[in-house]
Amino acid sequence: MVGLILALDVMDEKKAFEIAEKTAEWINLIKVNYPLVLSAGVDVIKKLSKFKKVIADFKISDIPYTSSLISRMAFENGAFAVICHGFAGSDTLRAVKDVAGEYGGEVYVVTELSSPGGVEFLQKVSNSIAVLAKDIGCDGIIAPATRPERVRELREIVGDLKVICPGVGVQGGRIEDIKELVDYIIVGRSIYLAKDPKKEAKKIYELLK
C-alpha cells in the first residue's frame, strides 16, 4: 500500500500538534519544512516525532560542508530523514548521505519540483539527478505528482529506490494517476486546511489502499 506523508506547513506549533494528533491514525510519516521550523524552532522535529517519524524537508542544496551541518542539525533534533536538492551535485549528496549514515537516517533527493517552474530548469536535468541519487545510494527521490508521465520515467530510472510524490490535491496531482508508481504521497493543504483534517486524512488513506 502507498503511504501517506503529512506536510505540516503551518506556522503555529500548537496548531501543528493539534493536526498531527488528529490525523496520526491515518498518516504514516510527518514532513516539516521551513515554515514550521522557522516559527517553532528546530526542536519541533523531536516533539512531533511522538506522533510519527519526521522527515526534515530542508531542501538542502549548499556546498558539502554547510549541507553536512544542516543535515546534522536535522538528525540531532530527531529527524529520521532529510530531503536535499539533487542539483547541488554529487559532493553535496555524498556529504548529506555520510551524515545520515552516522545516525542511521535516510536521504531523499528532489528531482524536479511539482510546481510549474519545475519544468523551466530542473526537468532538463532531473533524469540525471535520479541516476545520481541511485548511484550514490540515497534512499529515494521526490517526484512530481503533477506530472505522472515524469513519475513513470523517474521510477524506471531509480528501480527499487523509494519514490515519494508531492503535488496531490491543491497542486492538481491525482492519486489514481500515480498510485501504482509510488511508495508515498505527500499531502499538505488538502489535509491541514480542511474543516476536518482527520476525516480528510482518512479519506486520502482509503484512496491509497
106 is a site residue for ligand BMP (CB under 6 A): no
**DSSP strand pairing (54-60 vs 3-7):** unpaired
Crossing angle between the packed helical segments 126-136 and 90-103, to the nearest 10 degrees: 40
User: Which segment (12-20, 129-137, 187-195, 198-206) binds ligand BMP by CB under 6 A?
Assistant: 187-195
Question: Which of these is catalytic: 53, 59, 162, 179?
Answer: 59
Give min distance, CB of 87 to ligand BMP, in A: 12
Residue of the chain from 167, 182, 184, 200 that contacts ligand BMP (CB under 6 A): 167
Q: Nearer Cβ to ligand BMP, position 102 or 111? A: 111
Does residue 204 touch ligand BMP according to CB under 6 A?
no
For the question of residue 209 being annotated catalytic, the response is no
Give the interface size with ligand BMP as a residue count (CB under 6 A): 19
Span from 17-25, 41-49, 129-137, 163-171 in contact with ligand BMP (CB under 6 A): 163-171
Q: At what angle do helices 13-23 and 197-207 cross, to 10 degrees?
A: 50
Interface with ligand BMP (CB under 6 A): 7, 9, 33, 57, 110, 113-114, 142, 144, 166-167, 169-171, 186-190
